[in-house]
Structure 1
Amino acid sequence: MTGQTETETVGQLPNTSTSTPLAPAVFTRLVWALLVASVGALAARQLTGGNWEVPGLVAVDGLTVLLWVVVTFFSGIVHSYSRRYMAGSEHLTRFFTRLFAFTLSVMVLAAADHVALFGAAWLAMGLVMADLIGTVKGWPQAQAAAGLARRYFLASSALLGGALATLAWTTSATSISGILAAVDTVPHSILLVAAGLLLLAAMVQSALVPFHTWLLSSMTAPTPASALMHAGFVNAGGILLLRFAPVVTVDPAFMLLITVVGATSALLGKLLKTVQSDVKRKLGCSTTGQMGFMIAQAGLGFFGAAITHLILHGFYKAYLFLSAGSQVEATSPTKSTTGSTTLVGGAVAVCSAIAGGVLFALLTGKGTHLDSGLLLTGLISLTTLHATWTAVQQTDLPATLRYGVVPLFFLPAIAVYAGVYTAVTAVLAGVPLVTAPADLTVVHVVVSAAFLAAYVGIETGVYRRSRRLYVALINAAQPATDTLLTATEEYNEY
């Protein structure tokens, strides 16, 4: 609470008269050492080119080293933050052991080439995350949330296992590289079955609608675990689709299905967020929407854009979760920070969005041809429109200053995004089908128009006129009943 004179702490500080567990310090240093090694591996690979491999077991390519750097960086931040956040907890050693195990499982997943090793790493990643959700053994709600997540992750692993077994059986290959090299020999119907299983596994892991319940029920996890979950774990869906891009791109209609699935989750995630009052659950709905955008980008054939999105979203969402506690005190219920937007403000937002799309197209070359790149550029413009529309509604600054600063701030941000996208694409060189734009069809246009209309309806608040929709959103956003914390005594041990 504000006004306290004593030092603020998160959790109870350790008793200096007794020995402090070694696990936090040891695992934190190990993770930062892994980051240094990963950065070195990334630099070495970019300088020397080519891939490193143990034939049939592991293969270290551009995607591998990039993910190693990203996951060890996020994990290092979470480990360091957790040393203070979890201080005094009886679960301290167990918590850090699970954090480090999760980091290792993701690193193994990124490098695995043998289908059994890949499947085992996927399963281990899910089981460890479920255990982190249920860190506090004394909370029935935490154990219920962990059990629910575990069931979802087991289902995801079963779907992935089915896809891997199908592909391995039809190609007589036991490695991912061998399977991808023999994709042309697999009957089209078998590829569609495998692609469908891969998409479902990705949807579960990335908490896309209708598989978002496990994510919204996971709020019993310690905040650092939630940060790692939302910044890293849910990104596995996009990684899976990129790793098996030659399989999922086998049919243009299937790629369109991926786009529709992603766009639907993006819109519903935004709608679900509007009916939330809890800070962490709002962030959870936001993650569902953002993962929808990521999957939609993969469906358009721009897997490099999907990887760029998951990296930048990871930075942003990790920060939001680790600072979530400050939102309770920082938000004043009596102070309005937004107001109505004038015609001039709306024009500034629209012009900034158009300029952002044009700038992205010029810097990346995407959106300059009649293919799905136009839709990718449209997503960039739409994101810019949302950000600028929100910015010009702020009433803390004079209107003239807001309208003048918005383009000067967001256009360089688009340039930075385009630069990151270009750099990520360069690192992914050699990974099969990083970019596979689809021909623009009437269905793409219809989907885009429907998406834009729904988005405008959300932004203008038209959807609020329907009480039935509001009730439907409330029901869809409800976590599992047995995971709800309804009384302070259930979770406040002090």
Structure 2
Amino acid sequence: MSSLLSWLVLIGPLALVAAGALPSAQANAAPRRTADRTFVAALVAFAVALLTAVAVASGGALVSGTLGLRGIGLGVYADALSAVMFVLVSFIGVVVLRYSRNYLAGDPNQGCFLKWMALTLAAVLTLIISGNLVQFIGAWIATSLGLSRLLLFYGERPAAQLAARKKFVASRIGDACLVLAALLLLGTFGTLDFAGLFAGANAMKAAGTTSGAVTAVAFLVVVAALLKSAQLPLHGWLIEVMETPTPVSALLHAGIINAGGFLVLRLADVVSLSGGALEVLVLVGGATALFGSVVMLTQTSVKVSLAYSTVAQMGFMMLQCGLGAFPAALLHIVAHSLYKAHAFLSSGSVIDLARASWTPSPGGQPHPARLVMALLAALVVTLLVAALFGTTLQEKPGAVALGAILLLGLVHLLANAIDERPNAYVIGRTVVLTVSVALAYFALQAVAEHLMASSLPATLPLRGPFDLAIVALVVLSFAGLVVFQSLMARHAQAPAWRALYVHLSHGLYLNTLANRLVLRHWPRTTPVSSNVKA
């Protein structure tokens, strides 16, 4: 495509920068005008994103030249991956900024809040369409700094300060990893332009060779991604950002937190050259997904429960990347972002929703034998429907494993359908629903693979017994989680279960230990009114 058309993609983030460039005092003096300006800028960015997606779909990737030397400078690289993320994040930005118009109405710092929301969103969009790694890192750091301002909107709150400090430490470690990775890539390939990096990585893959520098780069990228997406054991800052306004939580959990996954997908050609780096993603991602899912069940705060859900979902995404299911990971990002943005923005109505959806239970918990039958049925349906789409555990372990975990979420529905007073109509309808969910899941996987064929490496097969053991362990762990959820409801009053519940509700105290460590080396200072006002 023409270089001029590629440069026009920058209009999206530039519109948001222009909207957020007002001094804070002027933004606060006319909050309604600031809200209109930022919302219109978000609409412009969304329109540009849609046009970019159409251009990429019809004519291929939009790749500009680089204003700089050796791939270091300003450029645009918008392929299918970038186009999907560009549309997704800009759409969420439109929704969140529109929501913010009324959410903070009357707050003396509403204008400044909207200003930093626009600037942070601009940084995320710039990251997505960056043409080289230096520009990517600059946008990566700008996103982190903008988010820190938003996290400290109520800077006088000690919990907000603590969360911002933990995030600052994790972010700076991640930044250092990316800078070092960039230096190694520049020394290996002689450029940091994405087109050149991908060509060099694919040449290495075709030759069946790699280098120690590229292996080191893969590990550095993985570490940066894990830190950005709040994976174990540095996940605690994400749980404590509830001190910030709800629109920030929505933008963070539905957009910014995905930057770690996008980093792995953007550099998937490089990361996939190292089996060890992929195995780190599998182990850390799988452990985080299981941890977040278990702890989430014990939370009484709606927002904290959603935060642990995000930790778990990011773990699933990293697990998919580690298993080589890169298109599946992108699909997961899209689905999770849309769901989580809605969940946070509607969290204030959760009581009304719960009351409206309540129905009387026929009584009791599913019999253990029927629960096991439901578990087996979910796994059998997964394998059968996967086979219809030509998806096997050997060839696409990530897609099959996540499909099984998805259907395990329907186990209690299946168990209840065959428990108490079995009814042929109810059983049949539940089975049809289960099969329909499996069909929809694997159909979407096929669509994602087709759309991303030119942007992401093909799904990797099992690399050996270790991968097979990990996949089996992941599926069995979540099957065990289903059983645990049932047992916890049955034995909620038993002393041992009550003690376990307390420990889990505190996240096994991992975040408490992190808090103590941070406070020991970075003691609290006199509370400030708010850093975001600057």
Task: Give the 3 Å change call, closer, same or farther, for CA 441–239 of structure 1 in structure 2.
Answer: same
Task: Give the 3 Å change call, closer, same or farther, for CA 270–105 of structure 1 in structure 2.
Answer: same
Shift in Å, 1:415: 2.9
Question: Is 1:148 paired with 2:166?
Answer: yes
Q: Is the CA contact 1:223–1:321 (under 8 Å) kept in the aligned structure 2?
A: yes
Q: Is the CA contact 1:180–1:247 (under 8 Å) kept in the aligned structure 2?
A: yes
The one-character-per-residue Cα deviations of 1:211-256 (angstroms, maximum 9, x if unpaired) are 2011012111211111111111111121111111122111334323
Question: Is 1:224 paired with 2:244?
Answer: no
Distance 1:207 1:451 in 2: 20
Distance 1:356 1:95 in 2: 46
Distance 1:263 1:104 in 2: 32
Structure-to-structure mapping, 1:368-407, within 5 angstroms: 370-371=394-395, 373-389=396-412, 392-393=415-416, 400=423, 402-407=426-431
Give the stretch that moved more between structures: 245-254 or 403-412: 403-412
Give the stretch that moved more between structures: 75-84 or 416-425: 416-425
Q: Is the CA contact 1:66–1:427 (under 8 Å) kept in the aligned structure 2?
A: no
The structure 2 residue matched to 1:471, chosen from 500, 503, 522, is 503
Partner of 2:188: 170
The one-character-per-residue Cα deviations of 1:139-162 (angstroms, maximum 9, x if unpaired) are 333233223322222222121111
Task: Give the 3 Å change call, closer, same or farther, for CA 19–32 of structure 1 in structure 2.
Answer: closer
Q: Is the CA contact 2:163–2:238 (under 8 Å) kept in the aligned structure 1?
A: no
Q: Is the CA contact 1:266–1:290 (under 8 Å) kept in the aligned structure 2?
A: yes
Question: Is 1:44 paired with 2:46?
Answer: no
Structure-to-structure mapping, 1:408-487, within 5 angstroms: 408-433=432-457, 435-461=458-484, 467=499, 471=503, 473-476=507-510, 478=512, 480=515
Task: Give the 3 Å change call, closer, same or farther, for CA 468–326 of structure 1 in structure 2.
Answer: closer
Partner SS state of residue 208, structure 1: coil
The structure 1 residue matched to 2:110, chosen from 77, 80, 92, is 92
Q: Is the CA contact 1:127–1:153 (under 8 Å) kept in the aligned structure 2?
A: no
Partner of 1:246: 269
Partner of 1:74: 92
Q: Which structure 1 segments of 5+ residues have no match?
A: 1-17, 484-489
Distance 1:480 1:219 in 2: 16
Shift in Å, 1:124: 0.8
Partner of 1:340: 365
Residue identity matched to 1:104: A
TM-score, structure 1 length as denominator?
0.84
Task: Give the 3 Å change call, closer, same or farther, for CA 468–279 of structure 1 in structure 2.
Answer: closer
Q: Is the CA contact 1:272–1:477 (under 8 Å) kept in the aligned structure 2?
A: no
The structure 2 residue matched to 1:113, chosen from 131, 137, 143, is 131
Distance 1:261 1:63 in 2: 24
Structure-to-structure mapping, 1:148-227, within 5 angstroms: 148-183=166-201, 188-227=211-250
Partner SS state of residue 182, structure 1: helix
Residue identity matched to 1:52: V
Q: Is the CA contact 2:324–2:461 (under 8 Å) kept in the aligned structure 1?
A: yes
Shift in Å, 1:457: 2.9
Distance 1:73 1:89 in 2: 25
Shift in Å, 1:475: 0.9
The one-character-per-residue Cα deviations of 1:79-118 (angstroms, maximum 9, x if unpaired) are 1111121111122111111221122112111111222111
Shift in Å, 1:195: 0.9
Shift in Å, 1:344: 4.8
Q: Is the CA contact 1:265–1:289 (under 8 Å) kept in the aligned structure 2?
A: yes
Q: Is the CA contact 2:326–2:456 (under 8 Å) kept in the aligned structure 1?
A: no
Q: Is the CA contact 2:35–2:114 (under 8 Å) kept in the aligned structure 1?
A: yes
Task: Give the 3 Å change call, closer, same or farther, for CA 387–23 of structure 1 in structure 2.
Answer: farther
Task: Give the 3 Å change call, closer, same or farther, for CA 416–257 of structure 1 in structure 2.
Answer: same
Shift in Å, 1:68: 0.8
Shift in Å, 1:425: 2.9
Q: Is the CA contact 2:60–2:79 (under 8 Å) kept in the aligned structure 1?
A: no
Partner SS state of residue 232, structure 2: coil
The structure 2 residue matched to 1:65, chosen from 83, 87, 97, is 83
Residue identity matched to 2:349: S
| Overall identity of the aligned pairs, in % | 24
Shift in Å, 1:421: 3.0
Shift in Å, 1:327: 2.3
The one-character-per-residue Cα deviations of 1:369-418 (angstroms, maximum 9, x if unpaired) are 623x14521320221122342575599x9864653333333433333333
Q: Which structure 2 segments of 5+ residues have no match?
A: 1-28, 523-528
Q: Is the CA contact 2:150–2:248 (under 8 Å) kept in the aligned structure 1?
A: yes
Partner of 1:23: 34
Q: Is the CA contact 1:388–1:406 (under 8 Å) kept in the aligned structure 2?
A: no
Task: Give the 3 Å change call, closer, same or farther, for CA 26–176 of structure 1 in structure 2.
Answer: same
Residue identity matched to 1:404: G
Distance 2:124 2:440 in 1: 27
TM-score, structure 2 length as denominator?
0.78
Partner SS state of residue 243, structure 2: coil
Partner of 2:380: 354
Residue identity matched to 2:346: S
Q: Is the CA contact 2:325–2:398 (under 8 Å) kept in the aligned structure 1?
A: no
Task: Give the 3 Å change call, closer, same or farther, for CA 449–60 of structure 1 in structure 2.
Answer: closer
Distance 2:188 2:63 in 1: 27
Residue identity matched to 1:30: A
Residue identity matched to 1:133: L
Q: Is the CA contact 1:273–1:282 (under 8 Å) kept in the aligned structure 2?
A: yes
Task: Give the 3 Å change call, closer, same or farther, for CA 168–470 of structure 1 in structure 2.
Answer: farther
- The number of equivalent residue pairs is 462
CA RMSD of aligned residues (A): 3.1
The one-character-per-residue Cα deviations of 1:299-348 (angstroms, maximum 9, x if unpaired) are 1111100000010011111111111122245557x998685124556535
Partner SS state of residue 64, structure 2: strand
Distance 1:425 1:130 in 2: 35
Give the stretch that moved more between structures: 176-185 or 264-273: 176-185
Q: Is the CA contact 1:275–1:474 (under 8 Å) kept in the aligned structure 2?
A: no
